[in-house]
Amino acid sequence: HENKDLKGKNILITAGPTREDIDPVRFITNRSTGKMGYAIAKAARDRGANVTLITGPTNINPPSFIDVVNVYSAEDMYKAVEERYDSCDVLIMSAAVADYRPKVKSDVKIKKSDDDLKIELTRNKDILFELKERKRNQVVIGFAAETNDLLENAIKKINKKNLDYIVANDVTMKDSGFGTETNTVKIIDKFGNITDYPNLPKEEVAHHILDLLVK
């Protein structure tokens, strides 16, 4: 990238899913592949930023020449982000963090019986919500993956989590959201201004998100 317009900025980016263990062989997760977050990390690196990528388990290779922190569960991701938050200039949370985890993790493989099995879930911390009291000069960008009432739900999240921007993706759209090479997003700022983007490769969506930091 010819333009190093993010030179010197410390950017913390999260990507991928988290895994919430049920027992030693089973877990709860979601369809995130990490592609969106890794594309942001690569684009930010190319524009001169110091990038730290905190990633849940994925099958893709992270970009080179950045710091990579591998995490497993939502709790691990919370700790990794929390430790680095005060010294970052920008936090971009594109990870799909599990909202719930099994209330107890069995130490042994759960045996089947003839009965139904109930797994009780308990809330994970909401990372963005937990950090909102500690916000100083950071620019904080969240994502919203929605299947319905996209704008309404995304706007609620901006307010509740005190974000500067939210990148809303309607994950029911074709070639958009989880696992795809492209994404169709709307970026909403904290004043409620909405910018619509066409379906674009995740790399291009990434550059549009980073453009928010230089205007």
Q: Which stretch binds ligand PMT (CB under 6 A): 1-9, 26-34, 49-57, 112-120?
A: 26-34
Burial category of 166 from C-beta neighbours within 10 Å (exposed 0-12, middle 13-18, buried 19 and up): buried
For residue 33, state whether it binds ligand PMT (rule: CB under 6 A). Answer: yes
Active site residue 199: no
Q: Which is nearer to ligand PMT, 49 or 140 (CB)?
A: 140
Q: How many helices (H) and strands (E) does the chain have?
A: 5, 14
Q: Which of 143, 182, 184, 188 binds ligand PMT (CB under 6 A)?
A: 143
Distance of CA 211 to the CA centre of its chain: 18
**What are the residues whose beta carbons fall under 8 Å from the beta carbon of 66, sequence distance 6 or more?**
41, 45, 51, 52, 53
Report in angstroms how near the CB of residue 9 gets to ligand PMT at its nearest: 19
Number of residues assigned to the chain: 215
What's the rounded Cα separation, in Å, for the pair 39 and 206?
6
Question: Where in 104-123 is the site for ligand PMT (CB under 6 A)?
Answer: none
Name the active-site residue from 3, 10, 30, 124: 30
Closest CA to 46 of 89, 9, 100: 9
For residue 155, state whether it binds ligand PMT (rule: CB under 6 A). Answer: no
Question: Where in 77-106 is the site for ligand PMT (CB under 6 A)?
Answer: 93-97, 99
Binding interface with ligand PMT (CB under 6 A): 16, 32-36, 74, 93-97, 99, 124, 126-128, 142-145, 157, 169, 171, 177-179
Task: Supply the residues annotated as catalytic.
Answer: 30
